[in-house]
């Protein structure tokens, strides 16, 4: 059962354009939604994260939009640069009553072309 669905699988964006990656979740008990950036041969690095009581969070060129009623959240990368080319994973965290579970989406490979 895939609890976090991510799309698209791959994305090609022109330099300076906006990259948009979407995720949908099923479990309303999730209480934290991080995005990770992974370069080839490296581990994932936390990029930005949001809690479900917030509709939007912006850090530099990266913005998370969160729609609690639709159970969807998305990552927007403004003014995309070739250095942003990487694989991006959304995730959802379930935390409480002694349990801790971080569920990843399947990833989106972003290519930013000059």
Partner 1 sequence: GAVVSQHPSRVICKSGTSVKIECRSLDFQATTMFWYRQFPKQSLMLMATSNEGSKATYEQGVEKDKFLINHASLTLSTLTVTSAHPEDSSFYICSARGRGFNQPQHFGDGTRLSIL
Binding site for partner 1 (CB under 8 A): 34, 36, 41-46, 49, 89, 95, 100, 102, 104-107, 109
Q: Minimal distance in Å, beta carbon 6 to partner 1?
A: 8
Neighbouring CB atoms inside 10 A of 57's CB total 16
Q: Are 101 and 56 a contacting pair, CB within 8 Å?
A: no
Q: Which is nearer to partner 1, 57 or 106 (CB)?
A: 106
Q: Are 87 and 77 a contacting pair, CB within 8 Å?
A: no
Q: Minimal distance in Å, beta carbon 74 to partner 1?
A: 18
Beta bridge partners of 41: none
Q: Which is nearer to partner 1, 17 or 94 (CB)?
A: 94
């Amino acid at each position: 059962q895939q609890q976090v669905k991510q799309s698209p699988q791959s994305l090609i964006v022109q330099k300076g354009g906006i990259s948009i990656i979407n995720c949908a979740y099923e479990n309303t008990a999730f209480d934290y939604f991080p995005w990770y950036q992974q370069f080839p041969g490296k581990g994932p690095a936390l990029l930005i994260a949001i809690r479900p009581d917030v509709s939007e969070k912006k850090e530099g060129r990266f913005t998370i939009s969160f729609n609690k009623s639709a159970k969807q959240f998305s990552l927007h990368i403004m003014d995309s640069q070739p250095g942003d080319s990487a694989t991006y994973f959304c995730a959802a965290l379930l935390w409480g009553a002694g349990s801790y579970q971080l569920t990843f989406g399947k990833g989106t490979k972003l290519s930013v072309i000059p």
